[in-house]
Every structure is written in structure tokens, then in C-alpha cells.
């Protein structure tokens, strides 16, 4: 016997978009089968995405309704799909690809003589595909645009137990029709696609304001007197139940107050966000005194200045974004709220307030602003370092060449040596700028972090002094990470120096390692972190600590609390840059008068640690007879490099940019043994130039040279072990040895 819902589903017409929300798989399957059966009776081609229901169960259920699945499939009337048939492209959900698929299916159905297309989806595929809520809401909204001009009817089924209540709440707004129990009814929640899909922030406010009118109307019914409820019809009682269901399910907190500010009604979300177990605990209590009595800075908030109270007195609604509400335990949270006067006919009876806890959103916004600021300064620092490295290459190079031809007893030898030392110190500063801006080329390898700490420990003891007690606690089975050991040593050194300066009267410095698992909860509050296994390095001191305002600016370049001449403000910015470039994250815990702890988390890897390669000291510059093609856009750097290589016996062809290099290589009749090229140049970059030249000279070797690079050679993870690279500034001797090494490969 057909149910009431079966009759309701049979009334659906092309262009309808239905959202049934079910409490059980049994309900969902029965409803979906009835929906498809109605489509078959209407001579529509039916597509059924059966993500939950077993095929044998579906065949049995269809047979009970007089539908032979095999026969309908043979006629082309019915096709049972899985999520892989439609929803996924290369493992990711593609909303617009899905609409293209439906368009193709509809055209094919009409061409085959069907009256239209009927599409039914058990939406649990969204969980398996890890579709973000916003993507799912966008998809449902796009379906409404599709249905406006196509001969199709669509139902998207959701199991309440499988989806977050807040997501189901938001999805409801995208469906013109909803199924509640045995009824299919117009959805008062529905908002058209142009509002859902509009990117302007105002759309959010308009959306909430429009929805609030509906809430107020329903709240009037809920708060109506007992006698009025007794006179209400059965339909009104059904609507009240629906309102209560929606009030209980919504992710927004809602409460209503009378003219004295006392709570008349609150939904479960309101109670939960305010720290109460039951909404009944709020009834009759003054909400301003309970949750809004203090401003964000802790100052008293007079009730007459409260926007919620003012909304009643002025008879006008208000929207506030940047205040706080206070919980039952005395803690506070950032709140965004709407307050509107509430009327019974022409009588003002109070106000209704809807609010959201936006603490997480504000934290993400602050993180985004900080990241954008750091990125902008990083771009500047990286550019300065790049240009500075070109100058240092020239200073280093010519001072070394002059020193090679000047005896130590010559009066000019000492000034030349001072120039060389100053250039070396300047090169160290540029390395810090590059570390901060994350534009240096790292040489990562799989290593044991414990080994890095052990190798650095002796140097740290000399740096921190005898009045600071150093304790090192290393986890015996730490696991491996992939990082540049030299950069990790710099991280440890910078943190140790910072800790030493925070303990002018002495204290205790603790370095420890351990392995941790960062889960989904941590990743939600740290968007740059992927859940998984990490290795932790903690550096903790018993120093003076820092207040919150200092902690917020801790990683900004050139920010320092030390006096003039006692710090550049680059140390912690460098630490931050190295950690981020190593795919890690860093947390700071500090309390004034107690101390500070830096915790660095680096992703664990499943490979065994490799032994480090010791760097041999450079001997005299080696000589060679090969032909080299030098490509460098800086005139002075190109002249120095040409001269240094020529002094070592090489035949040097040169070009100032990529196009000129191609012409030189094409016109050269002999063999070119090595290309020495800058990575970042106007027009054609070094990587693209090398690829094109290798087609002309396949046996040619390549040596990349740069002060920094954001080229794909680095960004795509092709690092030192795989690409021949020489960092500026370099000395003529280092250049000669690197050239010989590459030619010998």
C-alpha cells in the first residue's frame, strides 16, 4: 500500500529540487525507491546513486513496487550508479563537472524519447570524498540554476546521523522543497542561487536578515499562550513541531527576551555556546547581566548602552560583529549577533537575538593577516638579499683574486683581507634574510633530529654561558624527519641565544625531543597543518617570559625588545622562515616571570636517517680545458665569473639572457661541456633555458647559480642532491671546484 510520502513524491514535476533528511537508512532507501518508481511511471530516465543501499536490497524493494530492475536497465529507463560514476574526477569532487554530466544525461534521455531526467543521490558519498561543506552547499545551489532551464527533477538524500547538524542546517537553505516525515512541502528556509553563490560579504548579512523574519514569525507561535495553541489547527501544530525541530537543529544560537531583558526562550545551541547543559537554565534570567555585562576589555557594560536593549527602544534591528559574550564559567568568546524587536501584532513584546561564536573565524583572519604581512616583507627581504648577493659575489670574488696575487707581507694584504671578512659577514646577514623570506635553496636529507641536537650541544654550551644550566632530553626512538641539518642547527642556535638573553641572571635551558600525533582538532585551528605524525623539538627557558602583545609580534622581522646594538630582530623571523620552509609549524607558550617554550613540529617520514656528508676543505682552484657557456644578466657578476673561469683554463662563451644564449649555442660549432646559468633572469629563466639547450647539446652538464629563486626548480622540490646548484655569493675558488665537480659527473 502506497504511503502518504509516495503520493507526495508522485506530485513532483520537472524543475523540482527536493531534500529529504532521514533518521535511518531504512527510511532513506524506501523514500529513494518510491522517488525512482514515480519517475519510471512518468516515462523519465532515472539515475540512482546508490552509495548506501546494497544492490540486492534495492532489487527486492523495486520488485515489491512492481519494478523489474533488469528489464528497466535493459530499456535504458534506469541506471544504478556509484559515486565513482558521477561525482569524482581524479579523486576529487567536481561540482561543475557533475552538472555537465547531468546535462549530457538529460540530452541523451530526450533524444531517446524519454519525458525527462530524474536523478536521485544518497549523499553519503560526500563523506567518503571529503567534500568541504562550502563546496557541497555550492553544488546544491548550482543544481537550482540547472533545474531552472532543464527538464529534470532531483532529490538529494541526507542521513542525519552521518552528517554534522550544522552542515545539514546550512544545506537546507539550498533546497526549494524539503521532506519532513510524510510531507513534501515548500521550504521557508530556501534562498535562491544568486544569493547563495554571490561572493560579496553583504550577501551573508542579507541572507541572515531575510531568514530572521521567518524565525520571528515562528517564535511568535512558539511563545503564544496555551489557549491560543489549543485553538490552533492540526496543521499549525505540525508547523510548531517543525519550528521546534529547526530551532533544535540549527547551528545558530537563538534566544528571545521580554521587555525587561529576561529570557523567554533559548535553543540548545544557545545553551551549549554559553556553557549551560539545558536551555531551561536560561529561562527567566536577565540575559544582559548573564552574558553581556562586560566589554571585550573587561570594563563594565551598562545595560542602557547595550545594542540589544537599544534595538527594543528604537524599534530597529542591529547587527554587531566585534563584541564578546560571557559563558557560565566566566570565560568569554567573540560573538557576532543580530538583535531585532519582537512584535505581537502592534505590541512590542521584547527582542530576538541570534548569535554565532566567531572566535575561530577571527583567529583564522588574524593568521591570514599575519601571513600576508610576513609574505609582503618576505618578498622585499628576498629581493634585497638577491641584489645584495650579486654585489657580494663581486666583492668576494675580486678580493679573493687580489689576495691570491698579493704576498702576506705586502701592505695591501691586510686591507684586502678586511674587505674579504666584511663581505663574509655581510653574506651571513643575507642568509638570514633569505631564511626569513623562505627563498633560500635548502639541502634537505632524511635525518635523526637527535643527531642534530647532539652535534650542536657543545656549541650551545659555549654560547649560553656558565650561569645557565643546559638540560638535553632526547627521545630514544624518535623517528626521522626530512630537513636541512645546517638550517636546523641555526634554529637551535637562534633559540638558545634568545633564551640566554631572557635569563640575564642565569637560569635553566631545556632542549627535548619527542614524537607526537597532531589530529583533526589541532589541524582545524592551524590551517597550515595536515593531521599526522610529527617530531617535536622543544626549547624551554626559565626567563622573564613575554606579554601577549610581544608574543603576537614575535616572528616579525626587525621586531626586537632589546636595546639598540643588542639585536637585529631577525633571529626569530629566521627561525619561523626555516620551520615553515621545512613544512613544519611552530608554537610559542610564554608567561611573564615564568619563562618561554618554543615547540617546533616537523613532519615525520618513514625512511631511515642517512649519514651526513662532510664537506672537504677547498684546495687550490682546479684547472680545466672544457668549453663553458656562461649566462648571467648582471654585467659585473658575469665579468667576474668569466674572468675566474678563464683563469682556470676554460674556454668561456657568455650571454646576458636566455635568447642570446640560444643564439650563441646555435652558432657555436664545437661541443659545449657545461652551462653555468643564473636561475632568475628577465624573460627566459635558467631552468627553461637549460631544457631548450639540452635538446641541442644532450651531453651538456648544467650548473645553476642564484642568490635566491622562487622558480619551479626549488618550489617543486628539486633540491641540492638532484640539481647542481651554487649559492651566491660564491668565491672564485668555490666556483672552480663546483664546476670541476659537475663536469666529473
pLDDT tens for each residue of 374-397:
666 666 666 666 677 777 888 877
Same domain, 11 and 118: yes
Q: Which residues contact 29 (CB under 8 A, 6 or more apart)?
A: 52, 53, 57, 58, 61
* CA dist., res. 292 & res. 353, Å (int): 12
Same domain flag for 392 and 334: no
In a 3-state reduction of DSSP, which class is residue 87? coil
Whether 295 and 420 map to the same domain: the answer is no
Whichever domain contains 171, its CATH number is 3.40.50.300
> Which residue's entry shows cell 490552533?
232
Which percentage of the chain shows pLDDT scores above 70? 80
Domain annotation covers residue 622: no
Within-domain flag for 621: no
Q: Are residues 180 and 65 in the same domain?
A: yes
Least confident of 330-334, 389-393, 430-434: 430-434
Cβ neighbours of residue 261 closer than 8 Å, sequence gap 6 or more? 286, 287, 288, 289, 303, 308, 309
Q: Which domain holds residue 154?
A: 4-197
Q: Residue 122 in 3-state DSSP?
A: strand
Instruction: Indicate the pTM of the whole model.
Output: 0.39
pLDDT digits over 188-241, tens only?
778 888 777 766 544 444 444 444 444 445 444 444 443 444 454 455 566 656
- Decide if pLDDT at 106 tops 90: yes
* 642 shares a domain with 598: no
Query: For residue 719, is pLDDT > 50?
Result: no
Query: Do 296 and 392 fall into the same domain?
Result: no
Q: Domain of 699: which CATH number?
A: 3.40.50.2300
What value does the CA radius of gyration of the chain take, rounded to a whole number of Å?
35
Query: Is residue 634 domain-shared with residue 715, that is, in the same domain?
Result: yes
DSSP state of 611: P
pLDDT of the residue at 108: 95
> Helices 449-464 & 485-501, crossing angle to 10 degrees?
40
Range with the poorest average pLDDT among 417-421, 453-457, 681-685: 417-421
Would you state the cell numbers that stand for residue 241, as one nine-digit string? 513541531
Residues 282, 151, single domain; the answer is no
Q: Is residue 151 part of a domain?
A: yes
Question: Sheet holding 347-357: strands in order across?
Answer: 263-266, 253-258, 347-357, 332-344, 318-326
- Looking at the fold, whether 72 and 120 belong to one and the same domain comes out as yes
pLDDT of 412 above 50:
yes
Considering only residues 144 and 189, tell me which one the structure prediction assigns the higher pLDDT: 144
pLDDT digits over 565-620, tens only? 444 445 677 788 788 878 899 999 988 888 999 999 999 998 887 765 444 445 67
Average pLDDT score over residue span 179-192: 76
Cα 720 to Cα 109, 570, 630, 664, 723: the distances in Å are 57, 25, 20, 28, 5
Could you tell me if residue 436 is inside a domain? Answer: no
Element housing 288 (H / E): helix 287-291
Contacts within 8 Å (CB) and 24+ apart, 316-319: 316/341, 317/209, 317/212, 317/341, 319/205, 319/209
Among the candidates 136, 170, 197, a domain finishes at 197
| 614 part of a folded domain | no
**Domain endpoint, select from 152, 179, 197:** 197
Query: Does 437 fall in a domain?
Result: no
Where do runs of H (alpha helix) occur along 149-280? 165-172, 193-196, 201-222, 226-231, 234-249, 268-273
In a domain, 708, yes or no: yes
Kindly state the percentage of the chain with pLDDT values over 90.
29
Closest CA to 420 of 644, 739, 735, 732: 732
Do both 299 and 413 map to the same domain?
no
Same domain, 226 and 267: yes
Please list, residue by residue across 11-23, b when 16 or more beta carbons sit within 10 angstroms of its beta carbon and e when fewer do: ebebbbbbbbbbe
- Residue 690: closest CA among 706, 703, 708: 703
pLDDT of residue 373: 66
Partnered with residue 158 across adjacent β-strands are: 21
Length of the chain counted residue by residue: 745
Q: What is the reported pLDDT for 431?
A: 60
Domain count, the chain: 5
Q: Are residues 47 and 185 in the same domain?
A: yes
Mean local confidence (pLDDT), 521-539: 86
pLDDT digits (tens, 9 = 90+) for 54-104: 888 889 999 988 899 999 999 999 998 876 666 666 667 788 888 888 999
Cβ density class 561-573: b for 16+ within 10 Å, e for less: eeeeeebeebbbb
Half-sphere exposure (Cβ direction) of 295: Cα atoms closer than 13 Å: 8
CATH number of the structural domain spanning residue 270:
3.30.450.20
Domain boundary among 197, 214, 246: 197
According to DSSP, residue 41 is labeled: H
- Residue 659 domain-assigned? yes
Amino acid at each position: 500500500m502506497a504511503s502518504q510520502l509516495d503520493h507526495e513524491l508522485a506530485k513532483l514535476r520537472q524543475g523540482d529540487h527536493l531534500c529529504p533528511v532521514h533518521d535511518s537508512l531504512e527510511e532513506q532507501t524506501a523514500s529513494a525507491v518510491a522517488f525512482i518508481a514515480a519517475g519510471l511511471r512518468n516515462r523519465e530516465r532515472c539515475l540512482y546513486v546508490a552509495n548506501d543501499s546494497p544492490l540486492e536490497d534495492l532489487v527486492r524493494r523495486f520488485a515489491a513496487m512492481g519494478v523489474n530492475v533488469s528489464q528497466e536497465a535493459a530499456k535504458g529507463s534506469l541506471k544504478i550508479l556509484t559515486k565513482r560514476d558521477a561525482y569524482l574526477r581524479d579523486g576529487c569532487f567536481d561540482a561543475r563537472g557533475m552538472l555537465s554530466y547531468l546535462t549530457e544525461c538529460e540530452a541523451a534521455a530526450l533524444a531517446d524519447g524519454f519525458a525527462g531526467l530524474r536523478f536521485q543521490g544518497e549523499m553519503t558519498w560526500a563523506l567518503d570524498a571529503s567534500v568541504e561543506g562550502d563546496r557541497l552547499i555550492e553544488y546544491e545551489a548550482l543544481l537550482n540554476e540547472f533545474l531552472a532551464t532543464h527538464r529534470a527533477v532531483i532529490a538529494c538524500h541526507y542521513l542525519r546521523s552521518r552528517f554534522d547538524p550544522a552542515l545539514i542546517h546550512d544545506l537546507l537553505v539550498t533546497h526549494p522543497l524539503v521532506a519532513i516525515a510524510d510531507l513534501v512541502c515548500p521550504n521557508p528556509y530556501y534562498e535562491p542561487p544568486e544569493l547563495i553563490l554571490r561572493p560579496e560579504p553583504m550577501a551573508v548579512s542579507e541572507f541572515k536578515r531575510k531568514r530572521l523574519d521567518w524565525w520571528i514569525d515562528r517564535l511568535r507561535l512558539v511563545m503564544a499562550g496555551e489557549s491560543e495553541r489549543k485553538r490552533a489547527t492540526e496543521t499549525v501544530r505540525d508547523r510548531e513541531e517543525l519550528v521546534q525541530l529547526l530551532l533544535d537543529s540549527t547551528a545558530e544560537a537563538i534566544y528571545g527576551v521580554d521587555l525587561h531583558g529576561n529570557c523567554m526562550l533559548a535553543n540548545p545551541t544557545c545553551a551549549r555556546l554559553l556553557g549551560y547543559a539545558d536551555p531551561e537554565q536560561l529561562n527567566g534570567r536577565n540575559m544582559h547581566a548573564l552574558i553581556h555585562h562586560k566589554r571585550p576589555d573587561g570594563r563594565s557594560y551598562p545595560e542602557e548602552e547595550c545594542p540589544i536593549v537599544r534595538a527594543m527602544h528604537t524599534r530597529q534591528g542591529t547587527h554587531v560583529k566585534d563584541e564578546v559574550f560571557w559563558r557560565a564559567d566566566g570565560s568569554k568568546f567573540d560573538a557576532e549577533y543580530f538583535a531585532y524587536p519582537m512584535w505581537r501584532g502592534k505590541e512590542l513584546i521584547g527582542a530576538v537575538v541570534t548569535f554565532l561564536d566567531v572566535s575561530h573565524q577571527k583567529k583564522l583572519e588574524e593568521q591570514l593577516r599575519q601571513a600576508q604581512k610576513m609574505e609582503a616583507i618576505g618578498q622585499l627581504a628576498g629581493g634585497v638579499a638577491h641584489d645584495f648577493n650579486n654585489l657580494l659575489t663581486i666583492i668576494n670574488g675580486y678580493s679573493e683574486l687580489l689576495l691570491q696575487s698579493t704576498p702576506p707581507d705586502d701592505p695591501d694584504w691586510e686591507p684586502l683581507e678586511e674587505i674579504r671578512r666584511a663581505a663574509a659577514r655581510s653574506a651571513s646577514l643575507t642568509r638570514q634574510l633569505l631564511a626569513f623570506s623562505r627563498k633560500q635553496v635548502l639541502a634537505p636529507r632524511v635525518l635523526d633530529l637527535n643527531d642534530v641536537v647532539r652535534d650542536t650541544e657543545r656549541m650551545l654550551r659555549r654560547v649560553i654561558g656558565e650561569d645557565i644550566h643546559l638540560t638535553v632530553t632526547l627521545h630514544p626512538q624518535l623517528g626521522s624527519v626530512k630537513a636541512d641539518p645546517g638550517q636546523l642547527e641555526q634554529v637551535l642556535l637562534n633559540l638558545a641565544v634568545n633564551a640566554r638573553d631572557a635569563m640575564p641572571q642565569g637560569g635553566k635551558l631545556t632542549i627535548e625531543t619527542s614524537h607526537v600525533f597532531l589530529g583533526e582538532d589541532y589541524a582545524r585551528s592551524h590551517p597550515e597543518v595536515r593531521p599526522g605524525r610529527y617530531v617535536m623539538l622543544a626549547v624551554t627557558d626559565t626567563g622573564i617570559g613575554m606579554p601577549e602583545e610581544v608574543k603576537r609580534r614575535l616572528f616579525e622581522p626587525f621586531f626586537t625588545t632589546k636595546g639598540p646594538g643588542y639585536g637585529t630582530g631577525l633571529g626569530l623571523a629566521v627561525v619561523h622562515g626555516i620551520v615553515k620552509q621545512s613544512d613544519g609549524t611552530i608554537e610559542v607558550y610564554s608567561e611573564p616571570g615564568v619563562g618561554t617554550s618554543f615547540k617546533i613540529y616537523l613532519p615525520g617520514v618513514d625512511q631511515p636517517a642517512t649519514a651526513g656528508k662532510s664537506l672537504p676543505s677547498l684546495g687550490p682552484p682546479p684547472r680545466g680545458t672544457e668549453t663553458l657557456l656562461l649566462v648571467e644578466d648582471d654585467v659585473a657578476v658575469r665579468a667576474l665569473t668569466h674572468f675566474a673561469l678563464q683563469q682556470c683554463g676554460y674556454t668561456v662563451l657568455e650571454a646576458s639572457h636566455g635568447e642570446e644564449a640560444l643564439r650563441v649555442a646555435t652558432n657555436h660549432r664545437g661541443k659545449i661541456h657545461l652551462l653555468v646559468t643564473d636561475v632568475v633572469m628577465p624573460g627566459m629563466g635558467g631552468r627553461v633555458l637549460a631544457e631548450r639547450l639540452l635538446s641541442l647539446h644532450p651531453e651538456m652538464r648544467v650548473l645553476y647559480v642564484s642568490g635566491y629563486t622562487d622558480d619551479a626548480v626549488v618550489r617543486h622540490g628539486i633540491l641540492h642532491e638532484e640539481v647542481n646548484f651554487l649559492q651566491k655569493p660564491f668565491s672564485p675558488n668555490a666556483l672552480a671546484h663546483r664546476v670541476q665537480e659537475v663536469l666529473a659527473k
